[in-house]
Amino acid sequence: MQAPHTFTVSPWPWLPPELVSQILEELWALPLAIEERSAVFKNACLVNHAWLVLFLRVAMRHVHLPSPLDPSDYLRLLHERTAADGETDPFTAEASRLANHMCRSITFDIDGRSPPADDDGDGPCGEPAPEIKLYSDADTSGVSTVLYMVSALDRLPNLRHVALRYTDWGYDDVFAQLAAGAFPRQATQLSVEYAFTAPALAPLAVYLKALYTRQDPGAPRGTVPGVRHLAVGGAPAEFVADMLEVCTGVETLELVYPSRLYVLAPLPASVRTVVVRQPGRVLGKGEMHWWTMGM
């Protein structure tokens, strides 16, 4: 009798963990909208247990708020777990330890865009007309709260970079966020970036840049002396000058699409390096000379 055929099932060509980690890190580093980042978080965690473990290490290393946790949830995650927390608390002691020791950067996405309206609005398809928010509200209060609690409770010992990404927002809010003077002392890099998304906002954004005036030097303000690397994008030169008044120990100043650099002269004595970034462009000698920058 002929022996029955046997079939060998080839093992699934699983990706090595190192490659998966690199893919997840590059995906998480993309400039995603809040909804997109939340979707990435949820979907990556559902692939399998290996992806869950690898992705949580990426997401806890470079934290984005809000996405998918809001600031209050993140602060609760950093809280050291005790028996008094009870079994119903979804955050374990291991999750708290991982979140506290893995974090290298926190990015706050402060989005001033209004959600689509169900009824007829002033914009197309029933959406509200685009606008630029000027003052602090519930969307930004989480920034100062998180920074204060991290500093006061001595959490995130490996935090090095704090980024504030404003969308359709005015320029004064960041000074209110830093006024408390509770910026984590272990964070030595600060990035502030502004973007205006709707074409209808372009004239208003230009107007805001032209209208911006220096902060009142006599007004009480907090200082962040521990920041060594300051990066600013999408803001007028006067705003950069005010940020240098707040970040008194800056050694490297990084500017994205800068203009009117003469406003910054003279630079603080602490500044040793100025980095000018114009993505997609090559700076010529003529433009460098126009900016009165040496070659």
Where residue 147 falls among pLDDT bands split at 50, 70, 90? very high
Q: What integer pLDDT is reported at residue 157 of this predicted model?
A: 95
Q: What percent of the chain has pLDDT over 70?
A: 75
Q: What is the mean pLDDT of the chain?
A: 81
Q: What integer pLDDT is reported at residue 80 of this predicted model?
A: 74
Identify the helix (H) or strand (E) that includes residue 63: strand 62-65
Q: What integer pLDDT is reported at residue 295 of this predicted model?
A: 44
Q: What integer pLDDT is reported at residue 48 of this predicted model?
A: 82
Cβ neighbors of 111 (< 8 A, separation 6 or more) are: 33, 34, 139, 167, 168
| Dist CA 286 CA 8 (whole Å) | 68
pLDDT in tens, 49-79: 888 888 888 999 999 998 888 888 899 888 8
